[in-house]
């Protein structure tokens, strides 16, 4: 019997009517002869509300206690979905993360899944039940409730699909799939039918509005076929899977933009070995993920080191940078929250040149200054002023996607 993992996001279970709709969708998959494991997020807005409550008491709530509060959102949702299914005559049981159990490390509020024990889920599936698992949460080896970071239900779903060797992991959401650019910015953005894990990971912002990126990493590692689709209709969405030759024919799959980062610059650092090591080790020790790093050419024995971090980590990162700056005798630390990272992403870049040059030219023609550049085999990112983000995305989409249908020559 095929096994499907279906994940429903917050808007899909946003009210009782929608929960009934979700139950009908699940019933359909059951009637079609599938075993079904469902992962649900909290009802829309609930996680924000719960975090808000903790913030009314403290600016930096104890992370263990925050997890205790925030994990309740999903518990409500799974119970409601189970009841809705039972009302349709479908045997169903809901399980929290610790009932499964989904074992995580003990990094509260951004825990990572270490292991999933599938015995109990299997048992209930064998009894003919739909099993509804709370997304976003797990339990540490010490027995404490943990959560996986915002949007973590996707990771719960893909990890469960991997552990259960499911045939597919369906991510039901409020958008029809992954687009070539944010459709709210680019009128001509189109739905992408198939995308590789690697491209999806590189399209962080485009992707992460749809799915938590860590879930795609998981999918790639265990080869889980992911189908992102709308919970409001039956249309095919976007399949995320292993790359194949066909996919390489498209040079640029999408244009993504990220406004969630801040740039921190350590100014006039003595240019000697060990400074970067000290800085980035200190950040790493605090679990702060650094994205772009730029070190300028040194001038009279001094240099500037800039890096970007998620805005939510920026206060802390700045604090750490100031400590390190003092230690190594740097002049100052500067911070800019008004930046945007714009990326062009595509597997075909592995075999086609000229993309970077064309990207810089498009930005130049729009009069947009580039603060920093980073590249990978399949992505080029430019850091620019936040106020030009939409203009840049539109211009790049036009140049690389709208004007390039079936055409891969840039020179």
Nearer to Mg ion by Cβ, of 146 and 306: the residue is 146
CA–CA distances in Å: residue 408 to residues 166, 253, 261, 351, 396: 37, 12, 32, 10, 15
Site string for Mg ion, 1-30 (x = CB under 5 A): --------x---------------------
Among 153, 238, 256, 262, binds ligand ASP (CB under 6 A): 153
Q: Binding of Mg ion at residue 61 (CB under 5 A)? A: no
Shortest reach from residue 197's CB to ligand ASP, in Å: 19
Nearer to Mg ion by Cβ, of 151 and 207: the residue is 151
Please state, in angstroms and rounded to a whole number, the distance separating the CA atoms of residues 175 and 232.
9
Shortest reach from residue 170's CB to ligand ASP, in Å: 15
Helix (H, G, I), strand (E, B) or coil at 95: strand
Q: Binding of Mg ion at residue 151 (CB under 5 A)? A: yes
Residue 136 binds which of ligand ASP, Mg ion, none (CB < 5-8 A, kind-dependent) = ligand ASP
Please state, in angstroms and rounded to a whole number, the distance separating the CA atoms of residues 13 and 22.
7
Helix (H, G, I), strand (E, B) or coil at 198: helix
**CA angle in degrees (0–180, nearest 5) for 104-52-56:** 115
CA–CA distances in Å: residue 288 to residues 54, 254, 314, 316, 324: 22, 27, 9, 9, 15
* DSSP state at residue 387: G
Name the residue whose CB lies closest to ligand ASP: 153
Of 40-48, 101-109, 163-171, 224-232: span binding ligand ASP (CB under 6 A): 40-48
The answer to whether 8 is a known ligand-binding residue is: yes
Nearer to Mg ion by Cβ, of 171 and 324: the residue is 171
DSSP string, 53-86: HHHHH-SS--HHHHHHHHTHHHHHHHHHHHHHHH
- Strand ranges (E), 206-301: 226-230, 238-241, 254-258, 261-270, 290-295
Nearer to ligand ASP by Cβ, of 14 and 346: the residue is 14
Please state, in angstroms and rounded to a whole number, the distance separating the CA atoms of residues 337 and 315.
11
**CA angle in degrees (0–180, nearest 5) for 297-300-305:** 40
Q: 378, 204 in Cβ contact below 8 A? A: no
The answer to whether 174 is a known ligand-binding residue is: yes
* DSSP state at residue 89: T
Strand partners, 374: 381
Shortest reach from residue 177's CB to ligand ASP, in Å: 18
Q: Binding of Mg ion at residue 176 (CB under 5 A)? A: no
**194 preceded by cis ω (within 30°)?**
no
Shortest reach from residue 195's CB to Mg ion, in Å: 18
Q: Which of 130, 143, 170, 154 is nearest to 74 (CA)?
A: 154
The answer to whether 191 is a known ligand-binding residue is: no
Nearer to ligand ASP by Cβ, of 140 and 208: the residue is 208
Q: Binding of ligand ASP at residue 173 (CB under 6 A)? A: no
Q: Binding of ligand ASP at residue 10 (CB under 6 A)? A: yes
The answer to whether 210 is a known ligand-binding residue is: yes
> What residues between 62 and 121 interact with ligand ASP by CB under 6 A?
73
Please state, in angstroms and rounded to a whole number, the distance separating the CA atoms of residues 329 and 349.
41
Q: Which residues contact 47 (CB under 8 A, 6 or more apart)?
A: 10, 41, 70, 73, 136, 150
Of 109-117, 146-154, 169-177, 309-317: span binding ligand ASP (CB under 6 A): 146-154
Q: Which of 392, 375, 268, 303 is nearest to 339 (CA)?
A: 392
The number of residues that bind ligand ASP (CB under 6 A) is 13
Residue 219 binds which of Mg ion, ligand ASP, none (CB < 5-8 A, kind-dependent) = none
Among 14, 61, 135, 254, binds ligand ASP (CB under 6 A): 135
Nearer to Mg ion by Cβ, of 9 and 207: the residue is 9
Helices within 142-274 (DSSP H only): 153-163, 197-202, 204-210, 213-222, 245-248
Among 14, 97, 138, 152, binds ligand ASP (CB under 6 A): 152
Nearer to Mg ion by Cβ, of 151 and 346: the residue is 151
Of 13-21, 149-157, 382-390, 391-399: span binding ligand ASP (CB under 6 A): 149-157
List interacting residues with Mg ion (CB under 5 A): 9, 151
Q: Mark the binding-site residues, compressed into ranges.
A: 7-10, 47, 74, 173-174, 184, 209-210
Q: Mark the binding-site residues for ATP, compressed into ranges.
A: 7-10, 173-174, 184, 209-210
List interacting residues with ligand ASP (CB under 6 A): 9-10, 41-42, 47, 73, 135-136, 150-154
Q: Mark the binding-site residues for substrate, compressed into ranges.
A: 47, 74
């Amino acid at each position: 019997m095929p096994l499907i993992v279906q994940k429903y996001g917050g808007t899909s279970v946003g009210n009782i009517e929608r929960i009934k709709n979700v139950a009908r969708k699940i019933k359909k998959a059951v009637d079609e002869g599938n075993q079904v494991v469902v992962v649900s997020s909290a009802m829309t807005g609930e996680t924000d509300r719960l975090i808000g409550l903790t913030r009314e008491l403290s600016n930096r709530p104890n992370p263990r206690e925050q997890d205790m509060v925030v994990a309740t959102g999903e518990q409500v949702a799974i119970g409601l979905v189970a009841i809705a299914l039972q009302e349709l005559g479908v045997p169903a049981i809901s399980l929290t993360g610790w009932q499964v159990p989904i074992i995580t490390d003990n990094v509260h509020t951004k825990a990572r899944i270490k292991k999933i024990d599938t015995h109990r889920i299997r048992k209930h599936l064998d009894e003919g039940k739909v099993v509804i698992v709370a997304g976003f949460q797990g339990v540490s080896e010490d027995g404490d409730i943990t959560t996986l970071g915002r949007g973590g239900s996707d990771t719960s779903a893909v990890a469960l699909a991997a552990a259960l060797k499911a045939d597919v992991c369906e991510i039901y959401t409020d958008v029809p799939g992954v687009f070539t650019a944010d459709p709210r910015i680019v009128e001509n953005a189109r739905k992408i039918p198939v995308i590789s894990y690697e491209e999806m990971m590189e399209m962080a912002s485009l992707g992460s509005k749809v799915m938590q990126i860590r879930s795609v990493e998981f999918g790639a590692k265990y080869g889980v076929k992911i189908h992102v689709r709308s919970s409001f209709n039956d249309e095919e969405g976007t399949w995320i899977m292993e790359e194949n030759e066909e996919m390489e024919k498209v040079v640029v799959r999408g244009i993504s933009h990220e406004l969630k980062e801040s740039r921190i610059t350590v100014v006039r650092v003595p240019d000697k070995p060990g400074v970067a090591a000290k800085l980035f080790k200190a950040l790493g020790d605090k679990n702060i993920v650094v994205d772009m790093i730029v070190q300028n050419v040194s001038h009279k024995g001094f240099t500037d080191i800039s890096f970007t971090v998620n805005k939510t980590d920026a206060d802390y990162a700045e604090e750490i940078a100031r400590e390190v700056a003092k230690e190594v005798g740097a002049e100052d630390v500067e911070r800019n929250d008004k930046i945007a990272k714009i990326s062009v992403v595509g597997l075909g870049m592995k075999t086609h040149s000229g993309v970077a040059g064309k990207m810089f030219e498009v930005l130049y023609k729009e009069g947009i200054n580039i603060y920093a550049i980073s590249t990978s085999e399949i992505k080029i990112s430019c850091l620019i002023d936040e106020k030009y983000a939409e203009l840049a995305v539109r211009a790049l989409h036009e140049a690389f996607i709208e004007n390039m249908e079936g055409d891969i020559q840039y020179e």
